Amino acid sequence: MRRMDNITREKTETLSTLKPVTADTTQSLLDRLPASVFAPYLVTAVALAMAYGSSFLLADSLRSAGFQASTAGAVVSTGTVATLIGSLFAGRLAERTGILPLVAVSALVMAAAMGCFALIGTGGLLLAYAGGLLLGLGWAIFYMLAPIQLIHCLKPSARLEALTLLSGSQMVGVGGSAPLGHLIADHLGGPSTAYAFYAVFCAMAAAFAILIQRRLRDQPQLPMVAVALSVRATLSILRAKTVLPVIMMSLAACTFAGLSTFQSLYAGSRGLTPDIFFLTFTVTTVALRFSVASMIGKLPLERLALALFVTTLIGIGFLVVNAGSPVLYVLATVFFATGYGLTYSTLNAMVVNLAGERGLSIPVASQVFTLGHFVGAFGFPFFAGSLIAAYSFDAALMVMAGLVVTNIAIASRIPWRPRMETETISRFP
C-alpha cells in the first residue's frame, strides 16, 4: 500500500512540474500531416470501420450456419456493452503504451473477431458471441483514440479538416462494408469468406499503425500525458464550458440514432423505401466530408455548428411534412446529412480547442465527447421506441426536432470568435 502511495505521489509531482504547452509549442505543431502518414492513417480507418460495419452481415452468416438470424441482435448487444467498457479504459492503456501501438492491438483484436464470425459454422454460437465481444472492444479503442493522435500532431486551426477526413473515412468503411461483404459472399463462397477478407483487412491495418508510428517519430507532437479517463479529469470537462459541445453532440446523436433505427417505420408510413434514406445519407455525408474538409477548417466553429444545426432542423422539418414524395424524401435526407454529417468533427474540434484554452486535458475532452456521442446513439432508440409504441413515429420526429432546436439555442449562446490559433494549450495535454 505504501508503495502505491509513493507511485501516486511521484506521478502527481511529475505532472505538477510539467511546463505549460504555450503558443511556441503550438506553432511547432503541424498545419497538415505528411501524406506518407495521413494516407495510411485514413486507410486504417476505412479498414477497421469496414470490419465494424460487417455486423450488418451477421444475420446472413448465422442463417447460413443454421442458426436463427434474430440471434444477431443479442450478439450486437454484447458488442455494444464491450464498446462502452472499452471506451472507459482506452485512454488509461494509451498512457502506458502510446496510441498507435494500441491501435495496432485493437486492429488485431478486430481481426480475431472477424475470424470468430468466419468460423461460426464450425464453432457455434459461442464463437459468435466471442466475436461480438472482441469487435466491440477493438472498435472502442480505435474510435476513442484515433482522433487524439491527430489532435496531438496538429495545430488547433488544422484539426477540423483532419477530423472531418477521418470521420469521412470511417463512413466510407461502415457504408461500404455490407455491399462489399455481399459481393464477396455471393461470388467467393458465402459470409464466412467475407469475414475472412475483413480479418485480412484488419491485419493490414495493424501493420499500417506500426508503420505510421515509425514515420511520426520525427514529427512534433504534444506529450502523451493525462490521457486516462479518470473521474476527476472527466468532471473537469463536464464542469467547464467544454461540456457544451458534449451536450450538443449527445443530442445530435439522438436524432441520427432515432432516424436510422426506425427509418423503416417512417418510410412505411409514407409508402416509401428506407433504402432511399440510407443511400442518400451515405453518399451525401461521404461526399461532403471529403470535398469541404479544407474549406470548413477556415470557418469559426461556433457559427459553423449553428449553421449545421439549422440545416439539420430543415431536413427533419421536410420529413415531418412529407406525405409520400420520393423527391422530398431525398431532399430531406440531403439536408439532414449535410447538417449531421459535419457535426461530429466540428464539435470534436470545438471541445478540444476549448479544453486547450482552459488548461484542461485535451485527450480527456475528446474521450468525454465520444462518450457523449455514445450516450445519445445507444440510449435514445429505447426512448424513441417507447414513444413510437405509445403514439407514432411522427411524435418521435417532433421530439427529435425539439432536440435540434435545443442545440440551436445552445450554439446561439456561445460567443462568436474569429478563427485564430489557440494561445495556450493544456498544461496536461
pLDDT tens, position by position, 247-261: 999 999 999 999 988
Cell of 35: 501524406
CB atoms within 10 A of CB 22: 11
Greater confidence, 1 or 161?
161
Is residue 268 within 8 A of residue 395, CB to CB? The reply is no
Rg (CA), the chain: 22
Greater confidence, 169 or 63?
169
Instruction: Catalogue all structural domains in the chain, each as residue range(s) with its CATH number.
Output: 32-229 (1.20.1250.20), 231-414 (1.20.1250.20)
CA distance linking residue 382 with residue 363, whole number of Å: 30
Q: In the prediction, which pLDDT does 166 show?
A: 94
pLDDT, averaged across the chain = 86
Cell of 341: 454529417
Q: Between helices 393-413 and 301-321, what is the axis angle to 10°?
A: 160
**pLDDT tens-digit profile of 349-391?**
999 889 888 888 888 999 999 999 999 988 898 888 889 989 9
In 3-state terms, what secondary structure has residue 30? strand
Percent of the chain scored above 70 by pLDDT? 89
Instruction: Say how far residue 410 (Cα) sits from the centre of its chain.
Output: 22
Amino acid identity of residue 160, one-letter, is L
Q: What is the DSSP letter of 154?
A: B
Span 199-204, average pLDDT: 97
Which range among 35-39, 74-78, 107-111 has the greatest average pLDDT? Answer: 107-111
Q: Which of 6-15, 76-85, 205-214 has the lowest mean pLDDT?
A: 6-15
CA distances from 363 to 189, 200, 395 (A): 43, 30, 38
Q: In the prediction, which pLDDT does 165 show?
A: 93
pLDDT band with cut points at 50, 70 and 90 for residue 41? very high
Q: In the prediction, which pLDDT does 22 show?
A: 46
Nearest to 192 by CA among 121, 125, 123: 121
Span 228-252, average pLDDT: 92
Q: In the prediction, which pLDDT does 77 show?
A: 84
DSSP 3-state percent helix, strand, coil across the chain (nearest 5):
80, 0, 20
Span 210-219, average pLDDT: 88
Q: In the prediction, which pLDDT does 23 show?
A: 46
pLDDT at 168 over 50: yes
Q: In the prediction, which pLDDT does 361 show?
A: 87
At 132, which helix (H) or strand (E)?
helix 125-153
Nearest to 203 by CA among 307, 110, 125: 110
- Distance between start and end Cα atoms, the chain: 29
CA distance linking residue 274 with residue 258, whole number of Å: 13
Is residue 55 within 8 A of residue 61, CB to CB? The reply is no
CA distances from 389 to 180, 306, 326 (A): 35, 32, 26
CA distance linking residue 195 with residue 184, whole number of Å: 9
Residues 131, 135, 140, CA angle at the centre, nearest 5°? 155
Q: Which of 36-50, 183-197, 239-253, 415-429 has the lowest mean pLDDT?
A: 415-429
pLDDT at 218 over 80: no
pLDDT band with cut points at 50, 70 and 90 for residue 429? very low
Q: In the prediction, which pLDDT does 224 show?
A: 64
**pLDDT tens-digit profile of 384-418?**
888 998 998 899 999 999 999 999 999 998 876 55
Is residue 192 within 8 A of residue 121, CB to CB? The reply is yes
Task: List 30's β-bridge partners, or say none.
Answer: 154
pLDDT at 336 over 60: yes
Nearest to 128 by CA among 49, 179, 59, 193: 59
Look up cell 449535410; give the residue: 338
pLDDT at 52 over 80: yes
Nearest to 165 by CA among 43, 80, 308: 43
pLDDT at 424 over 80: no
Q: In the prediction, which pLDDT does 251 show?
A: 97
The Cβ-side half-sphere exposure at 405, using a 13 Å CA radius, reads 8
Residue environment code for 289-328, b if the CB has 16+ CB neighbours within 10 A, otherwise e: bbebbeebbeeebbebbbbbbbbbbbbbbbbeebeeeeeb
pTM as predicted = 0.82
CA distance linking residue 391 with residue 219, whole number of Å: 56
pLDDT at 192 over 60: yes
**pLDDT tens-digit profile of 95-128?**
888 899 999 999 999 999 999 999 998 888 999 9
Q: In the prediction, which pLDDT does 11 show?
A: 40
Q: In the prediction, which pLDDT does 416 show?
A: 64
CA distance linking residue 244 with residue 302, whole number of Å: 11
CA distances from 87 to 24, 82, 198 (A): 32, 8, 23
Percent of the chain scored above 90 by pLDDT? 49
Q: What φ, ψ does residue 154 adopt, rounded to 5°?
A: -115, 150
